[in-house]
Amino acid sequence: MRKIVASVWMIILFTASIQAKESGFGFSTALVGMSMDYREYGNDGAILDSEKSSFSDMIGSEFTAEYTESYESQNYAQLGIEVLFLSGETQYVGDYLTGGSGYGTVVSTTLNIVLDMSTYLMYTNSFTNGLDLGYGLALGYRSWTRTLSLTQEERYYWFSLRPRIKLSYNFSAFSIGALAEYSYAINPKMSATNVSTDFTLGSADIIKLKIPFTYELNSKIGFFAEYVYEYQSIEKSNVQNGFYEPNSTANNQYAKIGATFKF
C-alpha cells in the first residue's frame, strides 16, 4: 500500500513539475500549410471571383518568441512576438477586370504572399484542476499580396488591434486548448498596379479560432500541432480611377506542426 501511495505522489509531483510555468524565455517554430477560400462579391451579392488552395498549395513558417513571468499563485503573464510567413499558389476563377462575361470566364493561377505579425501580452489564471484561463491583447500587422498576372498585382495591408481569450486543460505532459481572437483593422488599405493612390477599404475584420495540442518532452523541449480557422470580411473601398475593391470574405484554415524550446 505504501508503495502505491508513494507511486501516486511521484506521479503527482512529476506532473506538477512539468505543468507549472517557470519564468524565462521561450522560442517556437512551426511548419504551416494554409487552405484558402476567398470570394469577392458584387453589389447584388453575386460572386465576382474567387481564390482557392489546399493545405499543400500555400506553405510557410511561423516563429514565436516570448517571455514568461510566473507568480507564487501559479498564475503567469506572457509577452511575445509572432511572425507568420506563407507563399504559394491559389486557383483563380473570375472574369477580366474590364470584362462582364461573368464569373468563371477566366481560370488561372495566382501567386500569393501572406505576412502576419503581432506582439501580444497575455495574463493567465491557473486553477488546481488543470484548467488555465487567459486573456490579453495583441497589436498586429497583416499583408497579403496577390499577383494575378504579369500586369496585375494587388496588396492588402493594415495594422490591427486583437483582443484574445484562451482556455486550456493540462493533463500529465499533454495539454489541449482553444484561443479565440478578434482582429479590428486600423485604416486598412489596398494597392493595385496602375492605380497611383491606394484604395481605402471600408473595413477588414478577422475572427480566428486556434486549437492547439501540445506535448512537453521535458522542461526545455516540447512539440505541438495546431488547427486554426479564420474568417475574414472586407468591406468595399472608395473609388479610384473608376475602380474599387468590392466586398469580400475568406474562410481560411491553417495546419501547423512544430517544436518549442525554453531557456
Q: Residue 184, Cα to own-chain centre: how many angstroms?
A: 14
Q: For 91-145, write each residue's pLDDT tens digit.
A: 999 987 666 678 888 999 999 999 999 999 999 999 988 899 999 999 999 999 9
Q: For 67-82, write each residue's pLDDT tens digit.
A: 999 998 789 999 999 9
| CA pair distance 110, 58, nearest whole angstrom | 11
Domains of the chain are 2-262 (2.40.128.100)
Phi-psi region of 229 (alpha: psi -120 to 50; beta: other; left: phi over 0): beta
Neighbours of 113 (CB within 10 A): 16
How many CA within 13 A on the CB side of residue 53? Answer: 24
How many CA within 13 A on the CB side of residue 161? Answer: 4
Residue in 27, 68, 75 with CA at minimum distance from that of residue 222: 27
224 in Cβ contact with 212 (< 8 Å): yes
Q: For 35-73, write each residue's pLDDT tens digit.
A: 999 999 999 999 999 999 999 999 999 999 999 999 987
146: pLDDT strictly greater than 50: yes
145 in Cβ contact with 177 (< 8 Å): no
Coil, strand or helix at 163: strand
Kindly report the average pLDDT of the chain as a whole number: 91
* pTM as predicted: 0.88
